[in-house]
Amino acid sequence: MGFFKRDFLLLTLVLLFCPIPSFSDPSSVSSEQLSEIPKNFLNFAKKSDLFEWMVGIRRKIHENPELGYEEFETSKLIRAELDEMGIPYKYPIAVTGVVGFVGSGSPPFVALRADMDALPLQEMVEWEHKSKIRGKMHACGHDGHVAMLLGAAKILQGHHELIEGTVVLVFQPAEEGGAGAQQMIDAGVLQNVEAIFGLHVDPDIPIGQVASRPGPIMAGSGFFEAVISGKGGHAAIPQHSIDPILAASSIIISLQHLVSREADPLDSQVVTVAKFQGSGAFNVIPDSVTIGGTFRAFSKESFLQLKQRIEEVITGQANVQKCNATVDFLEEDPVTVNDKGLHEHFRNVAGDMLGLLNTKDMQPLMGSEDFSFYQEVIPGYFFFLGMRNETNGRLASFHSPAFLVILAYYKTSHIPWFSYPHFLWQSF
């Protein structure tokens, strides 16, 4: 890709790795394998106690989780740290978003993105820094993403003389619903930006590894809700009613046929009905039933076709049962598609930083990510950062009340982290 210097791209990508100096198996990477930029950044991180500072940031955010577009305290903390570093920023953007700028202020512009929002879950992990807000929890690692991007900001600011361009630091609200990325785009955060990078911690990938792929990496997703209206009555005399529960049941079965009988078996798709609300009594046929769910696909064409057929099936099957149906489609995330040119740069940087054996290709995931909105506008790249450590057992999955962010670091400062075989494992 010829639109910005390779060294500048290397610099921005390295920043996504080096804030936590613990990603590589020390036996697989030697100091000779690391380019000058990663080595300089890693040495800076060790000497400045950057990791411990980041741990403190992450734990403050974890203790005080905030939902989408409510991240006021998180945003305040971010701005305070950027002020301390002398990094200029814009605020507010998309209610709580913050966008910082490090470098010359001139092209090329490359963006790094972190999401800030938590989830409406009660944390079940008993530890010193458990969430203090009942019913809210960082159960997807966004607190760690913010800490890593602030760490990247500190390293950048400490090496601003190397930057021949501008790194844009995007702290985004509302990834977990609410289309925060789209709101940031609408506010103009991608102006002059030529590429954007994002990452996500992953409990299923071994620590010391990163994984990604070119092309589609996460599915496009949408949500639907339908109201099926009939005629209510007594459950003992159904002939005097028009039963919307029966109609809804037929609809749910027919929706499953969209994947099993209409989709190409090699074109992965999902339709799941996860909501069914009818009468609250055992002997009442309700006037209406509400159903809802999600649908996912890996291409825009398949996604739109699935959306069209969902509406046709719901209204058609309702009519068969003499009911009426209205269908609403709620928020949608596009397919997350990694730029193929950026993938080659990613493999070069990750291979240099971690070793090629720790840079993995992966299969696409049916989960969705609103980073995809950025990728519809400019070239973008998204990858996953491993957290799994067999000695700690299997980690809880995303969106679980038992979710943990576990990373390793080496505390002894006089021995390079990449040449020593022992790490201290703890919660980040």
Annotated binding residues, written as ranges, equal: 140, 142, 176, 200, 399
Torsion of CA 81, 85, 88, 92, to 10 degrees: 0
Distance CA 9, CA 308 (A): 41
Question: Two tokens at 55?
Answer: 């741990």
Give the SS3 label for residue 256: helix
Determine the residue type at 420: Y
Query: Taking Cα atoms as reference points, which of 302, 371, 298, 294 lies closest to residue 330?
Result: 294
The beta-strand segments (E) located in 11-161 are 89-93, 97-103, 109-115
Determine the residue type at 322: K
DSSP 270-304: EEEEEEEE--SSTTEE-SEEEEEEEEEESSHHHHH
Taking the CA atoms of 257, 262, 264 and 269 in sequence, report the sign of the dihedral they define. negative
Q: Binding-site residues for Mn(2+), please?
A: 140, 142, 176, 200, 399
Classify residue 178 as left (phi > 0), alpha (psi -120 to 50) or beta. Answer: left
Q: Are 76 and 164 in contact (CB under 8 A)?
A: no
Q: Please give the C-alpha separations between residue 290 and each of 227, 246, 273, 306, in angstroms, as whole numbers.
A: 5, 12, 11, 20
Angle among Cα 82, 97, 341 to the nearest 5 degrees reads 90
Q: Are 116 and 46 in contact (CB under 8 A)?
A: no
Distance of CA 210 to the CA centre of its chain: 15
